[in-house]
Structure 1
Amino acid sequence: MIVWLIGLSGAGKTTVGLRLAARLRADHPNLVYLDGDLLREVWGGTLSHDVAGRRVNAERLSRLCRMLDQQDIHVVAAVLSIFPEWQRWNREHLDGYFEVLLDVPMEVVVERDTKGLYRAALAGAASDVVGVDIPFPRPAEPDLVLDSSGRDGTPEDLVERILDALAVRVG
């Protein structure tokens, strides 16, 4: 099982992902949590945040998930995931791939701006920010779409909805 959480910076991927991983570990102790930002550090922090660097990071993350999947290790991955071709690759190569879009209006993530990315980009002090000068293409066919602006509830409520959807899928 690979649960792939997609969303803009500030959409709640890390918050939901960590809580989801903690809940899933009760039944799946062989589960790892992967975060796109943390993996950049693991890779040595050498990748840029431009589209080319992001593409390399996307490929590495997908291939790492495949290696883990082939060893029956479950994954919760929290990533921006801006490349539809890698989302398709995931569906074709990862068993139990489950894609969740944490959908939130741009104005909400700009208001949250936990990392100061949007403030800097909108002021012209930063570039290569997804949602500002790099497009954020919505996934074509996510398995689940959740509004993470608060309309669908708290992060714990979102975790429950993901767990419910996974239970239905596994049957």
Structure 2
Amino acid sequence: MVIWLIGLSGAGKTTIGTRLAERLRARNPGVVYLDGDLLREVWGGTLSHDVAGREVNAERLSRLCRMLDRQGVDVVAAVLSIFPHWQEWNRQNLSRYFEVFLDVPMDVVIDRDTKGLYQAALRGEAENVVGVDIPFPRPASPDLVLDSSGRDGTPDELVERILSAPGLVTS
């Protein structure tokens, strides 16, 4: 099973993803948590953040998930996921794929802006920021959409909603 958390920077992917992985590990200690930013570091940190570099990172992440999935390892992946064709590839190539879109209004992620990305991009000091100068396409057919701005609940409540979602089958 691969639970694929999609959202802009600041949408809560890391917070929700790590808590979700912890909850799943209570039942299955072998659950793996993958984060797009952390994997960039694992792979040497040489990829750019432009669309081409992001495409390479997306492919690596999807293929790593397939390798783990084929070995029976459950995965929680927290990624921007701006490429609809990789989301479709996941559906075609992973045995159990569950896509969760953390839908947060842009003004909320700009207010959160823990990395300073949005403010720098809006001032013209940074480029290749998804949601500012790189479009963020809304996922076409997520299995679950949650507003992680607080309207749908706390991070722990959102984790509960993911775990109890129709269609999610956990080991």
Query: TM-score scaled by structure 2?
Result: 0.97
Q: How does 1:32-47 map to 2 (within 5 A)?
A: 32-47=32-47
Q: Which runs of 4+ in 1 moved over 2 A?
A: 168-171
For residues 22-71 of structure 1, the C-alpha deviation after alignment (integer angstroms, 9 at most, x for no partner) is: 00011121210000000000010000000000000000000000000000
Q: Give the number of equivalent residue pairs.
A: 170
Q: How does 1:51-70 map to 2 (within 5 A)?
A: 51-70=51-70
Distance in 2, Cα, partners of 1:122 & 1:95: 40
What SS class does the counterpart of residue 114 from structure 2 fall into?
A: coil
Q: How does 1:63-78 map to 2 (within 5 A)?
A: 63-78=63-78
Give the percent of matched residue pairs that are identical in Structure 1 and Structure 2. 78
Q: Which residue of 2 aligns with 1:12?
A: 12
Distance in 2, Cα, partners of 1:14 & 1:84: 21
Q: What's the CA shift for 1:165?
A: 0.8
Alignment of 1:123 with 2:129, yes or no, is no
Distance in 2, Cα, partners of 1:90 & 1:164: 22
Distance in 1, Cα, partners of 2:12 & 2:43: 23
Distance in 2, Cα, partners of 1:3 & 1:101: 11
Q: Which residue of 2 aligns with 1:24?
A: 24
Query: TM-score scaled by structure 1?
Result: 0.97
Q: How does 1:138-153 map to 2 (within 5 A)?
A: 138-153=138-153
Kept in 1, the 8 Å contact 2:98–2:168? The answer is no
Range that drifts further, 25-34 or 152-161: 25-34
Q: How does 1:82-121 map to 2 (within 5 A)?
A: 82-121=82-121
Distance in 1, Cα, partners of 2:107 & 2:124: 17
Q: Which runs of 5+ in 2 are unaligned?
A: none
Q: What's the CA shift for 1:116?
A: 0.2
| Paired letter, 1:170 | V
- What is the aligned-residue RMSD (CA, Å)? 1.0
Distance in 2, Cα, partners of 1:52 & 1:4: 21
Distance in 2, Cα, partners of 1:5 & 1:145: 10
Kept in 1, the 8 Å contact 2:35–2:78? The answer is yes
Distance in 2, Cα, partners of 1:116 & 1:11: 14
